Amino acid sequence: FTLQMEYPKNLICLSNMPSVEETETDKCKVVKFDKTPKMSTYLLAWVIGEFEYIEDKTQRGVVMRIYTSVGNKSKATYALKVAVKCLDFYEKYFSIEYPLPKCDMIALADFAAGAMENWGLITYREVRLICDEDTAALEHKRDIARVICHELAHQWFGNYTTMQWWDNLWLNEGFASFMQYLSGDTVEPELNLWSMFMTREYANAFKLDGMASSHPIEVPVPTAKGADEVFDVISYCKGCCVIVMLQSFLGDEAFAKGLSAYLTRFAYANTVTTDLWQYLSQSSGKDVGKIMQCWTRAQGFPVIQAQIVSKEKGILRLRQSRYLSSGKPSKSEDETVWNVPIVMKVNGELVRILLDEKEKDFSISQLKNA
């Protein structure tokens, strides 16, 4: 997209890309912005208003600015510090450079959503960027860091590589929700963001997905208008949870390698869930598509019952059944057999197993001396 805007001289005009040409008339300015990369239409953005900003650069020299209403820029220093460190983290983790010359973030006084990941011009509700770093409550700082890390993750998951259609929304939101904790824990470890994962994503996902009225992560979305219905706890929270489970099972090295290959292959292009499974399978040597298909295509989740059948032989028996908050499921409600990746620590040693049947015995040598 190449955008040209005419606006009052006393205001500021921003868009996804830097300006390349500016002219003036008696009362207005005319600005032409540089051409954007190939991207989805929903990411095109512009903002006109009275703003001031603070600025910093990443290690690679990407200019990052936070725009606020006049008089509030000093309260954006904490957000800018988090944002710069987070962008550096993502470039290293994905092994892919942020492709735009700048990344603006702007605090808007009247903004319905928490934030929106427009490429190069991320819009936020004021409370998600502005705080007094010395006096702000821990919870406020956590929310700021979490949302910034979420939106910056979208610059790769969603903007650089985009879902083919809204039925794969979770590829955007589930991954951004996961990456906000992974990156946030690295750039601001004192916030202990993973504790928020347990009380926010994990608890909310289990609460809704334990109901008989829940729905799978991947659901048909016939029209764009229907997309609003899948911006929910299942896409965000359950999507995040299944990714945490998968990353733990594959190991972070194989997981990150697969993500990088996937993003590189589908740069400026559209994907579906099975594309991601293919590249994670290649990096890990495991059949990720087979492991994950029920987790995204079936509603609900299983309860795992464990029994040590023989400690001397190290035999562990696991059984799965669907959990329903309304009570024990009927036979017809408990037909799904999940492939459950399980990571456990026995005598200080990590053990990874896959429960792919309703009931299965595992021989685990570490149990003999546990």
Q: Which of 244, 242, 255, 314 is nearest to 284 (CA)?
A: 255
What are the φ and ψ backbone dihedral angles of 97, each rounded to 5 degrees?
-70, 145
**224, pLDDT greater than 80:** yes
| pTM for the structure as a whole | 0.94
Tokens of 334: 């408990």
Return the active site residues: 151
pLDDT for res 297:
95
Characterise 17 by phi-psi region: left (phi > 0), alpha (psi -120 to 50), beta (else): beta
Mean pLDDT for 94-102 is 97
**229, pLDDT greater than 90:** no
119-157 pLDDT, tens digit per residue, is 999 999 999 999 999 999 999 999 999 999 999 999 999
Pairing of strands 102-108, 63-68: parallel
CB 27 within 8 A of CB 68: no
Q: Under 8 Å CB-to-CB from 332, ≥6 apart: which residues?
A: none
Q: Which of 260, 267, 301 is nearest to 282 (CA)?
A: 260
185-220 pLDDT, tens digit per residue, is 999 999 999 999 999 999 999 999 999 999 999 999
CB 68 within 8 A of CB 104: no
* pLDDT confidence tier of residue 44, bands split at 50, 70 and 90: very high
Distance CA 10, CA 27 (A): 9
Tokens of 311: 């400690």
Q: Which of 187, 93, 103 is nearest to 145 (CA)?
A: 187
**281, pLDDT greater than 90:** yes
Helix, coil or strand: residue 6 = strand
